[in-house]
Copies of this chain bind each other. A is one copy, B any other.
Amino acid sequence: MTDETNEEHRKRMVRINEIKDRQLASATKEKGLVIVHTGAGKGKSTAAFGMAIRALGQGMKVGIVQFIKGAIPTGEAEFIKQISATGMPIEMHTMGEGFTWKTQDRERDIATAMKGWDQAVQLMRDPSFDLIVLDELNIATKYDYVPASVVVDELLAKRPMLHVVVTGRNASPELIEIADLVSEMKVIKHPYAHGIQPQRGVEF
């Protein structure tokens, strides 16, 4: 690569550009997407928050429901509180009580998760929203706190231009089946394994 001449490079880039242009020309549909971030690696919720700010930057209205987090204050919750105070069209509902191995009470978890789901349905059916993030919902469906079939039915019935992002490891096969875009975040290296603690501004 280092020895490639400028002219060889140019020719190769012209060919790549032609391929990319062809791909783009054949992609002509516009639709509200069902997007899933799953896998055991980091970046699932974080990328959903990145999508939220990108949408805000395009003048869209964003709703977020957090299904698991809630017991501990986070940087993202504080940030969203600050920007919504300045009038940005974003609404965040933190419905969780912490991970299920903290509450240790299945019936309470189900009640909490269903309360979150009711909130999610309300946002998805409100025509003023353009993008909805259902953060960690996959954990609630994995434990069957919210049945995966209920989630899939609601997503199939959503407004055509509404974008919905669902995060959490162990996405259900039914959800992956109906999704337009699925990314799996894989762990290649995790600082935990090297004795590094979860740090302010990085993990929370």
Residue positions of A touching B, CB distance < 8 A = 1-2, 4, 6, 9-10, 13-14, 16-17, 20, 23-24, 26-31, 33, 35-39, 41-51, 53-58, 60, 74-80, 82-83, 86, 88, 99-107, 130-131, 143-144, 163, 176, 179-192, 194-202, 204
New A-B pairs, 13, CB < 8 Å, besides A14-B104, A17-B102:
A17-B104, A24-B197, A27-B196, A42-B181, A43-B183, A45-B50, A46-B47, A54-B79, A55-B201, A181-B191, A183-B186, A183-B188, A185-B185
Q: Would you give the shortest CB distance from A2 to chain B, in whole angstroms?
A: 5
- On whether the beta carbons of A183 and B41 are closer than 8 Å, the reply is yes
Q: Could you list some 21 contacts between A and B, CB below 8 A?
A: A20-B101, A24-B197, A29-B194, A30-B197, A33-B199, A41-B184, A42-B183, A43-B50, A46-B54, A47-B47, A49-B53, A54-B79, A54-B201, A54-B202, A57-B76, A60-B201, A180-B189, A181-B189, A181-B190, A183-B185, A185-B185
Task: Name the residue among A58, A76, A88 with the largest chain B CB count within 10 angstroms.
Answer: A58
**Whose C-beta in chain B lies nearest to the C-beta of A27?**
B197
**Whose C-beta in chain B lies nearest to the C-beta of A79?**
B57
Give the docked Cα–Cα distance between A120 and B202 (Å).
20
- On whether the beta carbons of A163 and B47 are closer than 8 Å, the reply is no
Residues of B within 8 A of A184 (CB): 41, 185-186, 188
Give the docked Cα–Cα distance between A14 and B27 (Å).
50
**Whose C-beta in chain B lies nearest to the C-beta of A49?**
B50
